[in-house]
Structure 1
Amino acid sequence: MKLYRFLSADDTSEFCHKVTAALNAGWELYGDPTYAFDGANGVMRCGQAVVKEKAGDYAPGMKLGEQ
């Protein structure tokens, strides 16, 4: 099965650590990162899609971050 996650966070080192942790857990970058102003909170936000191939069947209840 192919799994998909969209990681997002404020534009701080937390976002880079989140993406780095996913890459080290076997996820691969999917597409370009995004960067946008969050007017409601007054901060810049970053986003990055990641995908991972894994044996087994997809179930809507699975916790993707634990795969």
Structure 2
Amino acid sequence: MQIYRLLTEDDTAAFCHKVSGAISKGWALYGDPQYAFDHANGVMRCAQAVVKEIDGDYHPDMNLGQQ
């Protein structure tokens, strides 16, 4: 089955590291990255969806970051 995550972070190297880390664990990019200005904090925010094929069934209590 395929599971989905949305990775978010301020527009810094931390975002790139987060996405790179997910890719290194078998996650695949899903769609284009998105950027938006966070007016409350005065920073750009990034988001990237990722997907991964896993064995078994989805459960809402899964820790997707550990998959």
Structure 1 unaligned segments of length 5 or more: list them: none
Name the aligned partner's letter for residue 21 of structure 1. Answer: G
**What SS does structure 2 have at the residue aligned with 1:40?**
coil
**What SS does structure 1 have at the residue aligned with 2:59?**
coil
Structure 2 unaligned segments of length 5 or more: list them: none
Scaled by the length of structure 1, what TM-score is found?
Answer: 0.98
Name the aligned partner's letter for residue 62 of structure 1. Answer: M
Superposition CA RMSD, Å: 0.4
Q: Distance in 2 between matches of 1:8 and 1:55?
A: 25
The answer to whether the aligner puts 1:16 opposite 2:19 as a matched pair is: no
The runs of at least 4 aligned residues of structure 1 exceeding 4 Å deviation read none
Number of aligned residue pairs = 67
Q: 1:12-64: CA deviations, max 9, x gaps?
A: 00000000000000000000000110001100000000000011111000000
Aligned residue in 2 for 1:38: 38
- Percentage of pairs with the same residue: 67
Aligned residue in 1 for 2:29: 29
Scaled by the length of structure 2, what TM-score is found?
Answer: 0.98
